[in-house]
Structure formats: structure tokens, C-alpha cells
Amino acid sequence: MTRTASLLAPLALLGALGGCGLQPMYAGGGSGAVAQGLAAVEVAPIEGRAGWLVRNALKDRLAQSGGTATPRYRLDVLLDDQLESLGLLTDETVSRERRTLRARYQLVDLSNGTILLDATAGSDAGIDVVSSEFATIAAEQTALENLAVEVSDRIMIRVTLALRSQS
């Protein structure tokens, strides 16, 4: 293949990309419909430490799209945080734990109370239980922090897609 042909091949494929139906999610940047919709989402308070972590992560992601004075949508989240023992040694001490964080969430249109999105998201993490109780507690807390970020990312993806379909 000649050098010119190898340079023109990607340009030809780029021209065909427009016909595939793909559209940019954030068309229009900060003034686009999706960004404006995300800026108008209010996150309702969520119970517990896990709720505090998830709510802050969601608010951080929503703040990246700017802010509005009047919210048009409310995001209601209900969490289920479970910590279970998995591995037992011969002396019946736990050697492994699994932390699971599940969220049931709804995106509500505040103008008429319509539920635009009703979905779930979740993630889990494995934790090694070691002889140091402090290290195990620290690992459990770190797992919760990481799970809160993961779950909030999954929620944001679904909320963004729901708002995109509204525009």
C-alpha cells in the first residue's frame, strides 16, 4: 500500500461513520440539552455513610456539568450495603469478606412527578481479613469508598442516557 493510500483510508472510514447512526452524547458542550439536564438534577439525601459517599460522588459528577438555580429533576436513591464473610479457616476464623453495594434509584421529573428512570446499579469488592483489626477495618472502609464511586458512575451513565432520550 502506498503512503498516500494509507493516509486516505482513515479519512474514507471517517466519512462512513456519519451514516452509522452514532450521535455525540454531549453535543453542544455545556449549553447542550444533556449538560443542561444534568445541571438541573437534584440528589435527594441518602441514609448512612454509604449514602453520604454516593450522594457526594453524584453531586461531584453533576457539578461538572454546571449548575442551575432551579432543579427540574430529582434523583432518589435507596442503598443496600452488605458485608458478608466468605472464607473460613480450620479454626473457624474468617479469612475473606465480600462487600456489596446495591442502589435502587429513580429519576423524577419535578414538574409533573413522572418517573423518567427506575433502575438499579451495584458493585462488589473482595476484602482480605488479616491479623490486624485496624488493617481489616481500613480495607472495609476503602472498599466502601471505591464501591460508592463505582455505583455513582453507573447511576450517572443511566441518568445521562435517560436525559438524552428526553431531548
pLDDT digits (tens, 9 = 90+) for 112-144: 999 999 999 999 999 888 889 899 999 999 999
pLDDT at 6 over 90: no
Residue of 100, 99, 103 lying closest to 151 (CA atoms): 103
Beta pairing partners, 159 = none
Residue of 100, 93, 164, 162 lying closest to 127 (CA atoms): 100
Predicted confidence at residue 166, as pLDDT, reads: 75
The residue written with cell numbers 473482595 in the block is: 126
pTM reported for the whole predicted model? 0.78
Q: Where do the DSSP E strands lie in the chain?
A: 41-43, 73-88, 94-109, 115-128
Q: How far apart are CA 119 and CA 81, in angstroms?
A: 17
| Domains, in order of start, for the chain | 27-166 (3.30.160.150)
pLDDT at 83 over 60: yes
Predicted confidence at residue 2, as pLDDT, reads: 67
Mean pLDDT score, 41-56: 95
| Beta-carbon contacts of residue 23 (< 8 Å; ≥ 6 apart) | none
66 vs 110, residue with greater confidence? 110
pLDDT at 87 over 80: no
Q: What's the Cα-to-Cα distance from 132 to each of 5, 15, 29, 90, rounded to whole Å?
A: 63, 60, 49, 19
DSSP-assigned letters across all residues of 89-132: -TTS-EEEEEEEEEEEEEEEETTT--EEEEEEEEEEEEEE--S-
Average pLDDT, the chain: 84
113 vs 12, residue with greater confidence? 113
Return the percentage of the chain with pLDDT > 90, whole number: 53
The residue written with cell numbers 490486624 in the block is: 132
Residue of 88, 115, 118 lying closest to 103 (CA atoms): 118
